[in-house]
Chains A and B, each alone.
Chain A
Amino acid sequence: MNKYILSKKTVVNDLATFYSFLIGLFIAFFIGSLILLIQDQNPANVFSLMLKLSVGSINSLSSSLNKAIPLILAGLGISIMNSVKLWNIGAEGQIFLGAIAVNLIYININISNSSLFIVILLASGFIGGAVCILFPAITKVIFGVNEIITTLLTNYIIIGLTIYLVNGPWKDPKSLNFPAAAYVGEEVYLPTIFGKLSSGFLVCILFVIGAYYLKEKSVFGYEMRIAGGSAMTAIYAGINAKQKAFYAMLIGGGFAGLAGAIELLSQTHRVSTGISQGFGYTAIIVAAITGMRPVGIFLVGCLFGALTIGGAVIQTIGVSSYIAEIIQASTLIGALIAQFFFTYEIKGVQDG
């Protein structure tokens, strides 16, 4: 009798993740086309319009890259936490708390040198994100509480806090039909580089390089990988696995918090529920699809930023913006399916 068994390939193609991503993207656009066809839309028209309105001009291209900033930063945070084999599902909340921290500092401190003030505000965003994950981090390393559920539930708490702030203590009386905090002054707006592109993009690139160095080249990155691997190896190597996990979580939260700070100082200019539109969740897809590699996160982040902008503008012709989210999620499913064929092989063996 013939039996088929799976075995892990001993040699996996270096570019397997990249090829899987391409196949995933192809499958996702196929699924997207089907959904559009069901809705009586011509996929070719919709996709070409999305392309034109997301990268077709300096203005649209810079908007797309602006949207990529929170996806990339939050994605980097998720990938750093994944070095110790932990999941950060709380990036959405961390983005919000980052923005809240910026506003808190802005209201209470006044620094006349605006460049210095901006740097301090960006740092407050980072700290805000780290504070957001502090409780899940402490309970994880001390008691082993499942961080997936604690970080996720924290999102609902922080978004609830945001709604409370913009309807209560921080409510701007001038904003009548949309509850929001007062605008920050123009002196702390992040300057633009070209078109609408915020200088936050440069900060973002800096952090991509930083995350790459931290994960791949630094001693800390090496220790994180060991700590995330086997507990026994970490003990033999004299590495305090819990301490590494704790720091990885705080840094990961900080990256997402910084995303919130940049979003506030360059896009919304005030705290509201519009600070993040699910960036923290899309960032999970971005990070997972690239196999948690910083440079990959940067590239896929830019692409997904363009997709998000494309999805937002096609609403004008009556297509749901959710099509962009569905394409993003389907890309990851497609990539997972493709990944299977790169990492496993099916063998027929003679039984008995």
Chain B
Amino acid sequence: MADVQLMGLLNATLQAATLLFIAALGELITEKSGILNLGVEGMISIGAVTGFMTAINTENLFLSIIVGVLSASIFSSIHAFVTVILKQDQTVSGLILTILGLALSSLLGKKYVGKKLMVKIESISDITEPSNVLEVLLNQNFIFYLAILLMITTSFVLKKTMFGRRLEAVGEDSRAADSMGLKINKTQFIATCVGGAFAGLSGVYLTLSYVPYWTDNMTSGRGWICLALVIFGGWKPYRTAIGAVLFGFLEALVPRLQTYGFDLSPYLVKIAPYLITILVLVILTIYKEGKTGAPGNIGRPFFRENR
């Protein structure tokens, strides 16, 4: 029994982690360019609802994923326009993106509440009850593997390519980057839209695989946990992945505690992931004594002074 239960836990951990990780990785890329986007929750929602709507109407999964990713990316361009081009407050703009994204997705998804999805992103094998680690891995769908690929690629791009070095330069010291002739606005705009696309992929993973239906506010704060994950990961893709697995484990463990014989209120147990996120954030901030590895220019708009 223990094996099947343990593997079930591992399986749920990886699924929850995939969802959190992709959006967190997107936010990491955006923040590397010096732009803070607090709209992750809204972007995931937009990706989730548009992907779900497309899947219900066309039953074409590939198209649904593309639509979800693109809509979230286009949606994030609002933030890019307001903060990068118009230099307005990033906190305010990101928050509106969350509020607007949740409202817009509820409006769009109204007719789809309770509808059953005929197609779903299936795992790459047809194992129903994985009994060892290999089977758990085979039980994941292709987005899980895509997430791993994105992690490796992002880390490589950030460290080894010209684009990555430019992104880092823009985010660390945009004034110096500007005098080197780098295009600040263009870099930040692209980074923000890439972040949106990643959040959109998280969104389609949510509605087309993780919980294959649509209800209002179904992101339930995951976007905010992603923001904490970026801090947890110290703006590094691999560490962010470790964080995502840890938080995924929590999300998977909490509903199982009762079956393991812990007598807990199911209502109180739902609070645990948020409580632990806060505690981890606090411990981490104390541990790093403020040296979190955040890009130097994060949150500050860049414009050339009139000399």
Binding site for B on A (CB under 8 A): 5-8, 35, 87, 89, 135, 139, 143-146, 148-150, 152-154, 156-157, 160-161, 163-164, 167-168, 281-282, 284-285, 288, 320, 322-323, 325-326, 328-330, 332-333, 336-337, 339-340, 344, 347, 349
List B contacts of A157 (CB < 8 A).
Answer: 271, 274-275, 278
CB distance from A21 to the nearest CB of B (A): 13
Contact status A146-B274, CB under 8 Å: no
List A contacts of B290 (CB < 8 A).
Answer: 144
Selected A-B contacts with CB under 8 Å, 22 pairs: A5-B306, A6-B87, A6-B304, A35-B107, A135-B278, A149-B228, A150-B278, A153-B224, A154-B278, A156-B274, A160-B271, A323-B107, A329-B103, A330-B100, A333-B78, A333-B82, A337-B82, A337-B86, A339-B88, A340-B86, A340-B87, A344-B87
Given A150-B278, A164-B267; A281-B99 close (CB under 8 Å): yes
List A contacts of B106 (CB < 8 A).
Answer: 320, 322
Contact status A153-B110, CB under 8 Å: no
Q: Which of A149, A163, A332 is B227 in contact with, Cβ under 8 Å? A: A149
List B contacts of A7 (CB < 8 A).
Answer: 303-306
CB distance from A83 to the nearest CB of B (A): 15
CB distance from B186 to the nearest CB of A (A): 14
Contact status B110-A320, CB under 8 Å: yes
Q: Interface on chain B toward A: helix, strand, loop, or mixed SS? A: helix
Contact status B267-A167, CB under 8 Å: yes
List B contacts of A330 (CB < 8 A).
Answer: 100
List A contacts of B224 (CB < 8 A).
Answer: 149, 152-153
Q: Whole-angstrom distance between the alpha carbons of A333 and B80 in the complex? A: 12
Q: Whole-angstrom distance between the alpha carbons of A139 and B93 in the complex? A: 25
Contact status A156-B100, CB under 8 Å: no
Q: Mark B106-118, 1 if CB is under 8 A from A, else 0.
A: 1100100000000
Q: Which of B107, B271, B281 is A145 in contact with, Cβ under 8 Å? A: B281
Contact status A332-B304, CB under 8 Å: no
Residue of B nearest to A5 (CB): B304
Residue of B nearest to A289 (CB): B92
Contact status A168-B86, CB under 8 Å: no
Binding site for A on B (CB under 8 A): 38, 78, 82, 86-89, 91-93, 95-96, 99-100, 103-104, 106-107, 110, 220-221, 224-225, 227-228, 231, 265, 267-268, 270-271, 274-275, 277-278, 281-282, 285-286, 290, 303-306
Residue of B nearest to A333 (CB): B96
Q: Whole-angstrom distance between the alpha carbons of A329 and B278 in the complex? A: 27
CB distance from A87 to the nearest CB of B (A): 6
Given A161-B271, A323-B107, A329-B100; A336-B88 close (CB under 8 Å): yes
CB distance from A221 to the nearest CB of B (A): 21
Q: Whole-angstrom distance between the alpha carbons of A337 and B86 in the complex? A: 7
Residue of B nearest to A6 (CB): B303
Q: Whole-angstrom distance between the alpha carbons of A8 and B271 in the complex? A: 45
Q: Whole-angstrom distance between the alpha carbons of A150 and B271 in the complex? A: 14
Contact status A5-B271, CB under 8 Å: no
Q: Whole-angstrom distance between the alpha carbons of A336 and B94 in the complex? A: 12
Q: Which of A149, A164, A281, A333 is B265 in contact with, Cβ under 8 Å? A: A164
Given A154-B278, A164-B267; A329-B286 close (CB under 8 Å): no
Contact status B107-A326, CB under 8 Å: yes
Q: Which of A150, A326, A337, A339 is B281 in contact with, Cβ under 8 Å? A: A150
Contact status B103-A325, CB under 8 Å: yes
**Further 9 A-B residue pairs, CB within 8 A, beyond A168-B265, A333-B78, A340-B86:** A7-B305, A148-B91, A154-B274, A164-B265, A284-B95, A333-B100, A336-B92, A337-B82, A344-B86
Contact status A336-B285, CB under 8 Å: no
CB distance from B253 to the nearest CB of A (A): 16
